[in-house]
Amino acid sequence: MSGKTVFSGIQPSGELSLGNYLGALKRFKDFQGANDSLFCVVDLHAITVRQDPAQLRQRTYSGVAWYLASGLDPAQCTLFAQSHVSAHAELAWILNTFTQMGELERMTQFKDKAARHKHNINAGLFAYPALMAADILLYDTHEVPVGDDQKQHIELARDVAERFNGIYGPTFVVPKMVAPKAAARVMDLQDPTSKMSKSVDSLGTVFLHEDEKTISKKIMKAVTDNEGMIRLDKDKQPGVYNLLAIYAACHDQTPEEALAQFTGKGYGDLKKAVAEAVVTVLAPVQARHKELMADTAQLDAVLAAGAAKARARANKKLAEVYAKIGFTPRQG
């Protein structure tokens, strides 16, 4: 063990996309073993947007299966569902009281989601980042591997940790975000200036469960530009940049390394290469996911073992926080 604790979470709020895979899932296996790593399906976060119960259950299993299919080994990491470890909700309540309304109002994810769900701008959606801070801080997490879009949330978790430590003395480790070297943010294929979203079903999003034909078709139809040259220019050529970033992430390269392979080539060549790379990377993961989904009892067993491991640690931290705040000790 390197002595580092790593925590990350994915929401079971939609089908997962290529963005979730390249920006997060794909590299999670690199953290297990050498590190103390925890991976969570954050079902409490998912209900900040109304969910159909049967679908939420199915997507939670599916999330666990994607983690496993991406190479996580429950013997080498702690894999669990957030709602199974009640300390997350409990610490979130505490941290709500250390988080300012103004800080939460500035969160772009809140602003986006509030705009998309105008009829259900609930208090949980607003307080979402405090729950995320609780997830991270409960385990003395050093590193949080997440996509770029989570930066503001991680910064808030850091601020809250420092604030609490400032008042009560050293309690929480102040976590750091770690971003992938390529495709930290996979963009929509039809609108490459906005993030590839799993909540919006369109031609612009590649979903992890989609078949080869659909994936290739979506990539071949990706929006590019009229420049006619393959260059790495995020502002002038966001579509081409995105394709290069996806190609790079699939091949574990930097976008610059990917670019070098397309000198003198056209957009059609680039798209074909990207489609092939994506299909090749996803095929074995999809096959494993399908196998795992056929046996939810086994997934329940994985979750039960993971929750038991997580619970022991989380409850210890929670007790420390409760004591510092001045709650009387829990008897039993």
Binding footprint of ligand TRP on the chain (CB under 6 A): 7-9, 11, 42, 45, 132, 135-136, 144, 146, 150, 153
Smaller CB separation from ligand TRP, 198 or 218:
198
Choice between 45 and 59, CB closer to ligand TRP: 45
CB of 137 to ligand TRP, least distance (A): 10
| Nearest distance, CB of residue 128 and ligand TRP, angstroms | 7
Helix (H, G, I), strand (E, B) or coil at 286: helix
Instruction: Provide, rounded to whole angstroms, the least separation between the CB of residue 123 and ligand TRP.
Output: 17
Catalytic residue among 4, 111, 113, 316: 113
Q: Which is nearer to ligand TRP, 81 or 222 (CB)?
A: 81
Determine contact, residues 177/144, Cβ cutoff 8 Å.
yes
Instruction: Assign 229 to helix, strand or coil.
Output: coil
Q: Does residue 26 carry a catalytic annotation? A: no
Q: Which is nearer to ligand TRP, 185 or 218 (CB)?
A: 185
Residue nearest to ligand TRP according to CB distances in the complex:
9
| Residue of 4, 26, 176, 198 marked active site | 198
Taking alpha carbons only, the member of 13, 7, 190, 186 closest to residue 113 is 13
In the residue annotation, 195 being an active-site residue is answered as yes
To the query of whether residue 271 is one of the catalytic residues in this protein, the response is no
Q: Is 274 exposed, middle or buried (0-12, 13-18, 19+ CB in 10 A)?
A: buried
Residue 16: CB minimum distance to ligand TRP, A: 10
Helix (H) or strand (E) holding 40: strand 36-41
CA distances from 265 to 58, 117, 182, 246, 274 (A): 43, 43, 21, 17, 13
Nearer to ligand TRP, 150 or 216 (CB): 150
Residue 130 or 245 having the CB closest to ligand TRP: 130
CA 74, CA 115: separation in Å to the nearest integer? 38
Q: How many CB atoms lie within 10 A of CB 313?
A: 18
Residue (125 or 136) nearer to ligand TRP, CB: 136
Closest CA to 123 of 182, 48, 180: 48
User: Catalytic one among 29, 111, 151, 195?
Assistant: 195
What is the DSSP-derived secondary structure letter of residue 188? P
d(Cα 57, Cα 135) in Å, to the nearest integer? Answer: 20
Sheet of 5-10, strand order: 78-81, 36-41, 5-10, 143-145, 176-178
Q: Where are the alpha helices (DSSP H) in 138-225?
A: 151-168, 212-220
We find the least distance from the C-beta atom of residue 174 to ligand TRP, in angstroms, to be 14
Q: For residues 18 and 187, what is the distance between their CA atoms, to the nearest angstrom?
A: 10
Which amino acid is located at 243 in the chain? L
Question: Smallest distance, Å, CB 143 to ligand TRP?
Answer: 10
**Would you say 208 and 19 are in contact if contact means Cβ atoms under 8 Å apart?**
no
Q: Provide the minimum distance between the beta carbon of 130 and ligand TRP in the complex, in angstroms, as a whole number.
A: 11
- The residues annotated with a catalytic role in the active site are 113, 195, 198
